[in-house]
Amino acid sequence: MTILSVNGTKRARMSRENGVVFQTTLADSVALSGRGLHSGRETAVEIHPAPENTGIVFRHGLRTVSGLASNVVDTSRGTTIGFNGFRVLTVEHLMAALHGSGVDNAYVEVHGGETPALDGSAAPYVEAIQSVGRIEQVAERNRIAITEPICVRRADSFILAVPAPEMRITYVLDYDHPLIGCQTSNYTINERDFGTKIAPARTFVLYEEVEELLGRELARGGSLENVIVIWRDRMSSPLRFPDELVRHKVMDIVGDLALVGGFLSAEILAVRSGHALN
């Protein structure tokens, strides 16, 4: 991992040797815009540097909401956070990009009430972060470790977390569908390759689900530009990876679990889990 240190390369070298990781924030601001996946509105985000121990804070004018699990208010085909009437839809891709890139602190100015869907993946967010780089801060990174197994189950889906020295994710995707079937992905969170191995994986939907989602006023901004649509015999675009669908599920878990408010160390096994279980 390459870290830009406010106190020079010597401290960065010492921190790696001593096993201490310091918090980071963006070196400069970045902006992205596009259509919101569920609202269908034109939306934009500006991601700004933030002081140490800020965490990820979404804001619009004077209204703010921290990117924390305690502020999750909806998990209908995405993760929505809210506080005192201020809501931000589908934060998981941006949270995954920040977490996977090793960003601890940032202010996210939101216009339109939802993060832009962009190409349906976290890659554009990661590329924007990489374009300005990060700076190291004084405080040590907030690491969260569990001391015993935790399991959450719903019907035939579950997510299990057990103590581990780092974040490792195994996801099992299981669809009764000829083009999907059962797929498995294993990934250890790594800032060096998150942007190439996980972030590019795009959102997908079965064609049979589209009408039902629109009836629930969801996916109004979905298109072939930001979603892989899957019919019984074909997909709307070539896959970026042979296992892109299950990699996207891993990316969702990274983004959802980033809402714990720090960098979690745990072995995660998820079987057919979605945003609600995550």
Q: Which residues are annotated as catalytic?
A: 275
Cα 218 to Cα 49: distance, rounded to the nearest angstrom: 32
- How many other CB atoms sit within 10 Å of the CB of residue 231? 12
Residue among 112, 78, 76, 71 nearest 94 (CA): 78
Which secondary structure element, helix H or strand E, spans residue 247, and what is its range? helix 244-257
Q: Could you tell me the CA-to-CA distances from 202 to 39, 80, 95, 224, 243 in Å, in that order?
A: 18, 19, 15, 11, 11
What is the bridge-based pairing of β-strands 80-83 and 86-88?
Answer: antiparallel
Let me know: does 278 contact 257? Beta carbons within 8 Å. yes
Q: Are 63 and 224 spatial neighbours (Cβ–Cβ below 8 Å)?
A: no
